[in-house]
Amino acid sequence: MGPPNALDGQYAFVLSGYDSTGAPAGVAGSITADGHGHITDGSVDVNDGTVLSSSSNALSGTYTLDSNLRGVFSLSNTVGSVTHPLAFAFTLRSDGASGDVIGLDTNGFFIHGTMQRQDATAFSLSQLAGDFAFEFEQNSTGRLVGIGRFTLGSNGMSTNGFMDFSRSGTGPTFTNQPISFTFAAAGPSASGRGTITSTDSGGSASFVYYVVSSSTILALRTDGLAITGVIGKQHLPFSMTTVNTGGAVFALAGADALTSNDIAAIGQLQVTNSTSAVLHWDANDTGAIFGPATASNQTVTFDPTTGRGTITVAGGFASGLFDTAVFYLLDSGKGFILDTTAGPSNRALAGAFQPQNGVGSFSLSTLASKMVVRAGGVTPNDAAVLDGLLSLGSSNTFALTLDARAPGATDVLNQTLSGIQISSIDANTGRGTLTIPSPTFNATEVVYIVGTNQFALIDVTPVPNNAATPVIFFDPQ
């Protein structure tokens, strides 16, 4: 049978996007890979336009894996009302512990997400107990995003829960409002699966969850339109200096309700004394390009007991960002951020921010090895998804090998774009330029470096060749 390969063990995954009709779709599950090309166990849940399908039997299937740790895993089982067995293209990191994944079967799903090796010792409520922050997203033209925090007890009941929700084109629907979570007393199953009920002033909602580790939980709503979520352990106690960062990169996706298309914004956040922020950013709103923009001496508030803070950016909305935002910390310089701009100007911009490593010395040498790549839109009009691998080529150029799926287009599998160049990197902000030369695809992108072999990117190709595009994430392989 040969030695086991890198895909070996239990993996949890969550993907979000749309079906072929443009209805929101989400998938969450767990597979067990035997290291020899077979899926031997697992479970999966699919929410397709509010229609829930769950596996009633243990999953089985096969997978491929090449020397670049890229492959496809396909399930043999059909799942509920989903017509065809599910299949996914993926790219793993070098340790085999995590990767990026997109849907690639004949069901017509345009979905993207991540997969992570599970720690089965965390499959109990007692192991999960602790402080958590979360981000929940519903992708649509009326995009709804919520971020918040709670403390989970070993009995599955939460305390000290608060949340902020925003809807694009409407504004904040809840601000620092109480929320509670009840994890079913049975706890996670052998695949790490369990159920959650959330309750707030707007009512209740039901979720299925899959445990990655005692620090990470993936979630999918099961009683309404698909909402996917990430729940991460908060490393309390915080101090007033916890939010202070020499630099953190934020990568935000949203929906412009006026155009029904994506908006994406990336940049650097620096906070001084937990009261003042400097932001540098670029944005692409339905093909309209903003940046590079800078805002200094912006007001920040922060509560070290919960990790919740707020940021005000004067003229932020007019420059492709937000006028106000809320954030919840997971750790120093790391957390979730959400647009809380009032009224129709809200675009539900949301995402994660991560501390930069190497501020003051960023250069092309910071990006000198292979990186896994993922992207996916948040509105039906920008539903294209991709995963892939960026490799350093000759003469300081890069090559991108990718899988992609877009409405109305033929699926792409293992296509390579060569001659990619990264230049003009600012040593302090990590901002640079990436160009993709091609007779049929000539694009200019802006990047912000997080650290070694890690950055985020948005398209800033001049009009008329620009279109709304998602944030593309690059992480070390």
pLDDT in tens, 34-92: 999 999 999 999 999 999 999 978 999 999 999 999 999 999 989 999 999 999 999 99
Residue-range domains of the chain with CATH: 1-234 (2.40.128.120), 245-355 (2.40.128), 364-476 (2.40.128)
Of 312, 338, 341, nearest in space to 135 by CA: 338
Amino acid (1-letter code) at residue 212: V
CA atoms of 268 and 240, how far apart (whole Å): 20
Burial profile 351-386: b = 16 or more Cβ within 10 angstroms, e = fewer: bbbbbbbbbeebeeebbeebbbbbbbbbbbbbbbbb
Question: Does the reported pTM lie above 0.85?
Answer: yes
Q: What are phi and psi of 275, to 5 degrees?
A: -130, -15
pLDDT digits 0-9 by tens, 2-32: 677 899 999 999 999 999 999 999 999 999 9
Token couple for 408: 């109305």
Show Cβ contacts of residue 440 under 8 Å, excluding neighbours closer than 6 positions.
none
CA atoms of 6 and 65, how far apart (whole Å): 8
pLDDT digits 0-9 by tens, 95-127: 999 999 999 999 999 999 999 999 999 999 999
